[in-house]
Chains A and B, each alone.
Chain A
């Protein structure tokens, strides 16, 4: 089956450091991957989309990479802040919808 996996359920990091979250996919080659942020009790919010022919994409302190050889996307938050604490979800496209990973809960410690 075509899987998308976020192996780290939780990640704790010190404020000011770079947080790196991983998303792996198997048995297919997605045209693009998306990253969302979800705060407790809220719906996910779209952050970034990266296409298979893009190695890297940036938005302010966020950076996403797409490695088709490793079948992996990395999501980086530089100069992390306590306000970055949330669950981050990656998603791949299906025929008419998106399939989401289970998410990584990031906690930035002051």
Chain B
């Protein structure tokens, strides 16, 4: 069966520090991968999605970036965090047809102080 992992589960970082969140998927090949952010009490905001290794599409301009160095690994990064980067970050995967059901990881709660 397929599983999706995210780490760390919780992170407290000072403003201006770098960020690296990792997501890995097991039990499937060539998945579509997604990064979402969910601010407190708000909906899911799609940040990035990837249909293959090295292929990243950005949905919103920001100081975040994403990379997909391996088929089942998706990384969210920032060189300098802002207060507004605080939120709940979710990674998800789906089949190769992007409109299919998405399966979410447990999330990373990021607090920037």
Q: Which residues of B contact A94 (CB under 8 A)?
A: 98-99
User: Is the Cβ of A43 less than 8 Å from the Cβ of B90?
Assistant: yes
Q: Please indicate which of the listed interface residues B43, B57, B103, B106 has the most CB atoms of chain A within 10 Å of its own CB.
A: B43
- With a cutoff of 8 Å between Cβ atoms, the chain A residues found around residue B43 in the complex are 89, 100-103
Residue in chain A with minimal CB distance to B9: A41
- Select one of B42, B49, B57, B109 contacting A102, CB under 8 A: B42
B102 near A46 (CB under 8 angstroms)? yes
B109 to chain A, nearest CB (A): 7
A97 interface neighbour in B98, B105, B106, B109, Cβ under 8 Å: B98
B102→A45 contact, CB < 8 A: no
Q: Which residues of B contact A45 (CB under 8 A)?
A: 104
A43: contacting residue among B51, B94, B98, B105, CB under 8 A? B105
- Other contacts beyond A41-B88, A44-B102, A102-B42: 8, CB < 8 A: A42-B107, A43-B90, A46-B103, A89-B43, A89-B44, A96-B98, A97-B99, A99-B46
